[in-house]
A = this chain, B = another copy of it.
Amino acid sequence: MAGGDAPDGAAPGVWLARGVCRGLAARGYAVVTEMPLADGRRADVLGVDERGGVLIVEVKASRADFRADAKWDAYRAFCDRFAFAVPPEFPMDILPDEATCGVLVADGYDAQVLREPPEHKLAGARRRAVLLRFARTAARRLHRAIDPEAGVDDG
C-alpha cells in the first residue's frame, strides 16, 4: 500500500485529514476537523497556532474531488492562511496559484508543506469570532467524548 492510499473502508479525505492534523500538530497547531464556520460551511481542518493565527486546510483527494467544490475561496474570509492538502499523485497544476493558497502534500501519517500559504490577516472582530467558535466546538466535542451521557450537542 502506498503512503497516500487509504486503508480499506476509510474515506480518502478522512484518511488524508488525519495526516494533515498530525502534520499541523507537529508544527505547533491545535486542530479541529469538520469545523463549522459562521456561514454554515465546514472547514476540513482548522488549525490555531500559539499566537492565535488561523489556518484552514481543505483536503482534496483527487481531481474530481477538487472540481466538485468550486467555492473554496469562501474559506479565506475565516483564516489568516489557506492551503489545500492533496496526496502525492494529485495533479498539482490544477491548483490555484501561490498568491492564493498554500499546498500540503499528505498521506494518512503526516503532511509536508510543498508551498507555504500566503498570509492575509483577519480583522480583529472576525478573528475573535473564529477563535471563540473554534474554542467552544473543541471543548464541546471533548466533553461529549469524555462524558457521552452529558447531553452535549455536536459543534
Alpha-carbon gap, A140 to B49, bound state (A): 11
Interface flag for A132 (CB, 8 Å): yes
Give the residues in chain B near A33, CB-CB below 8 Å: 146
B147:A48 contact, CB within 8 angstroms = no
Interface size class on chain A is 20 to 34
Give the contacting residue for A132; candidates B21, B52, B143, B147; CB below 8 A.
B52
A30 within 8 A of B: yes
**CB of A18 within 8 A of chain B?**
yes
Q: Is B143 touching A48 in the complex (CB atoms < 8 A)?
A: no
Contact A147 B52 (CB under 8 A): no
Whether A139 and B136, one on each chain, are in contact in the complex, defined by CB atoms closer than 8 angstroms, is: no
B32 to A150, Cβ gap below 8 A? no
With A and B bound together, what is the CA distance between A50 and B137 in angstroms? 11
Q: List residues of A whose CB falls within 8 A of some B CB.
A: 18, 21-22, 25-26, 30-33, 48, 50, 52, 128, 131-132, 134-143, 145-147, 150-152
